[in-house]
Amino acid sequence: MAAGAALRAAKQTLRKEIKQRVAALSDEEKTRQSMVVSRKLFQHPKYVSSQRVAVFLSMNDEVHTGEIIKDMFKRGKSCFIPRYERSNSHMDMLQLSSVQDMESLPLTSWNIRQPADDDQSREEALAAGGLDLILMPGLGFDKAGNRLGRGRGYYDTYLERCIRHPKGKPYTIALSFKEQLCQEIPTDDNDVLIDEVLYEGDL
């Protein structure tokens, strides 16, 4: 039990440090790095070949995903976005039909857009053909593929569901500012490794 408490404390300390580093970035710098990361993604063989892609709608302290979503529709990909449940760690990935569809979604108390709870009309990715690729958010990452989330466990739980789907686990790419990279992220057995982290710099 003591080990679990120590791990939680280490993660909380690291979350605070990373938040301060990202908060120090200007909006211009966040936009610039986001464009660099987006361009890297657009040339990535896994992105190019993937048809069914899940992407997060970015908050202010995350790599901006607006251009990525536009690119997905331009290329005719199926685009899925998260709907988080506040009361637990359950998340679904629901299909978006267009950029206009995204812009018309209601805002949550976290100030991000997501389909309303009573919106039953959208396909959930795992209810049909699964996913080829998930673009992952997070607070921090290391080069070994460890991810520090916000502590709610949404993505770890969702990836476990993906693993049980007939299609299997999709490829996962995290989108990161340089300031979110860490030497080492403290992890436990529930943390799911990411296949790749995209950021500005040499990969």
Helix H or strand E segment including 161: helix 154-164
Residue 12 among known ligand-binding residues: yes
Residue 152 among known ligand-binding residues: yes
Residue 147 among known ligand-binding residues: yes
Residue 15 among known ligand-binding residues: yes
Residue 154 among known ligand-binding residues: yes
Residue 14 among known ligand-binding residues: yes
Amino acid at 32: R
Q: What is the largest CA-CA distance in the chain?
A: 51
Residue 150 among known ligand-binding residues: yes
Q: How many Å apart are CA 131 and CA 142, to the nearest integer?
A: 24
Chain Cα centroid distance, residue 15: 16
Q: How many Å apart are CA 136 and CA 194, to the nearest integer?
A: 8
Residue 153 among known ligand-binding residues: yes
**Pairing state of beta strands 147-148 and 140-141?**
antiparallel
**3-state secondary structure (DSSP) of residue 103:** helix
Residue 138 among known ligand-binding residues: no
Residue 107 among known ligand-binding residues: no
Residue 62 among known ligand-binding residues: yes
Annotated binding site for ATP: 11-15, 147-155
Annotated binding site: 11-15, 57, 62, 147-155
Annotated binding site for substrate: 57, 62
